[in-house]
C-alpha cells in the first residue's frame, strides 16, 4: 500500500500540477470572472487520469479524474495538507471538468474563474487561518543562482514535469510555483516552503535527487546510480544554487466550512 501511494504521489506531481504560484489571493477587484460554460461530471471508477491544466490557447481549463481537494489546492495555491475540514469524498470522488472562457485569459484570471466555479457549483465556503508553524525557507545560496532565466512568452504548458523517480524538469518556472512543488514533495514533514529568494523571473532547470522516505520495496529495485544521488537539500544547492532551511514561520490553512457534490451537466 505504501509503495502504491508513493507512486501515485509521483504521478500526481508529473501530470496534475497546474501553474499555481503564490499564496491564497484576495478576490479580484475588477469584478467576478467566470467561465462561459463549464461541464462537471463524476469520473468512472476505472478511469485513468489525474491531469488538470489550462487550455493551450488560454481560453479554458480541463481536469481528468481529479479529486476536488486537489482542485482546491491548485486553484487556491495551497498545499493539500494545509486544507482542513470537509467530507471524505473531497479525496475519494474524482471529477472530469471541461470549462471554456469567452476569450483568452492569463493564468491568474483562469484560476479565479475556476475558484468561482468551485464556489458556485460545489457550494464551497471556507475561511483562512494563519498560524505560526514549522516551515522551510527557500533562499539563494551563497554560491549564486544556477538556474537559467527563460524570457519566452507564456505558453500555458505545465512548467514542472517528472521523468522517472527523482528527476524534475522545469521549463519557464516561477519561483513561488517551484516552492509549492517542493512543499508537495515534502509532505511527510508537513512544512510548507516559503519563498524568500527575491527572484521574480521564470527559470529552466533539471533537478536530480534521491526522494525522501522511499518505500523499501521500491528502494530494493532501484539501480545503484539512483541510490547514490544527493538528497533534495544537496541537489538544490549544488544543481540550482538554492538553499532550503527549516525554521518557524506564518503558515496559512484553508479551512472548509461547507461543500456539496455538484449536479452534473
Alpha helix positions (H), 16-148: 68-75, 89-92, 107-121
Is residue 64 scored above 70 in pLDDT? yes
The total number of structural domains that make up the chain: 2
User: 16-30, 129-143, 186-200: lowest mean pLDDT where?
Assistant: 16-30
Cα dihedral across residues 248, 254, 257, 261: positive or negative: negative
Global pTM value: 0.68
Domain extent for 34: 17-126
- Final residue of a domain: which of 65, 91, 126? 126
Is residue 2 scored above 60 in pLDDT? no
pLDDT by residue (tens digit) across 220-241? 889 999 999 999 999 999 999 9
Q: Are residues 220 and 136 in the same domain?
A: yes
The helix (H) or strand (E) run that includes residue 66 is: strand 60-67
The reported pLDDT for the residue numbered 30 is 54
Nearest Cα neighbor of 108 from 69, 150, 160, 61 is 61
In a domain, 262, yes or no: no
pLDDT by residue (tens digit) across 189-220? 778 888 999 999 999 999 999 998 888 888 88
Query: At 133, is the pLDDT very low, low, confident or very high (cuts 50, 70, 90)?
Result: confident
Cell 521523468 -> residue: 163
Q: Is 54 exposed, middle or buried (0-12, 13-18, 19+ CB in 10 A)?
A: buried
d(C-alpha 149, C-alpha 84), whole Å: 36
Q: Are residues 120 and 102 in the same domain?
A: yes
The reported pLDDT for the residue numbered 26 is 46
- Final residue of a domain: which of 99, 126, 153? 126
Q: Are residues 141 and 231 in the same domain?
A: yes
In a domain, 57, yes or no: yes
14: Cβ contacts below 8 Å, ≥ 6 apart: 161, 162
Q: Are residues 173 and 89 in the same domain?
A: no
Amino acid at each position: 500500500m505504501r509503495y502504491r501511494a508513493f507512486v501515485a504521489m509521483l504521478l500526481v506531481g508529473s501530470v496534475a500540477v497546474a501553474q499555481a504560484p503564490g499564496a491564497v489571493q484576495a478576490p479580484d477587484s475588477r469584478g467576478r470572472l467566470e467561465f462561459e460554460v463549464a461541464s462537471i461530471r463524476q469520473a468512472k471508477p476505472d478511469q485513468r487520469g489525474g491531469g488538470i491544466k489550462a487550455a493551450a490557447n488560454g481560453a479554458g481549463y480541463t481536469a481528468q479524474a481529479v479529486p476536488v481537494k486537489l482542485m482546491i489546492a491548485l486553484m487556491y495555491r495551497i498545499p493539500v495538507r494545509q486544507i482542513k475540514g470537509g467530507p471524505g469524498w473531497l479525496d475519494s470522488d474524482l471529477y472530469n471538468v471541461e470549462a471554456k472562457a469567452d476569450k483568452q485569459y492569463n493564468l491568474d484570471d483562469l484560476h479565479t474563474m475556476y475558484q468561482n466555479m468551485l464556489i458556485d457549483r460545489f457550494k464551497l465556503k471556507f475561511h483562512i487561518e494563519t498560524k505560526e508553524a514549522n516551515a522551510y525557507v527557500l533562499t539563494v545560496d551563497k554560491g549564486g543562482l544556477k538556474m537559467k532565466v527563460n524570457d519566452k512568452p507564456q505558453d500555458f504548458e505545465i512548467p514542472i514535469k517528472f521523468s522517472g523517480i527523482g528527476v524534475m524538469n522545469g521549463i519557464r518556472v516561477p519561483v513561488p510555483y517551484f516552492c509549492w512543488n517542493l512543499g508537495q514533495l515534502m509532505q511527510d514533514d508537513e512544512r510548507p516552503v516559503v519563498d524568500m529568494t527575491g527572484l521574480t523571473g521564470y527559470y529552466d532547470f533539471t533537478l536530480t535527487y534521491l526522494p525522501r522516505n522511499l518505500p523499501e520495496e521500491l528502494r530494493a529495485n532501484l539501480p545503484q546510480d539512483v541510490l547514490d544521488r544527493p538528497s533534495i537539500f544537496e541537489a538544490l544547492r549544488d544543481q540550482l544554487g538554492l538553499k532550503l532551511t527549516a525554521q518557524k514561520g506564518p503558515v496559512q490553512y484553508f479551512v472548509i466550512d461547507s461543500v456539496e457534490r455538484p449536479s452534473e451537466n
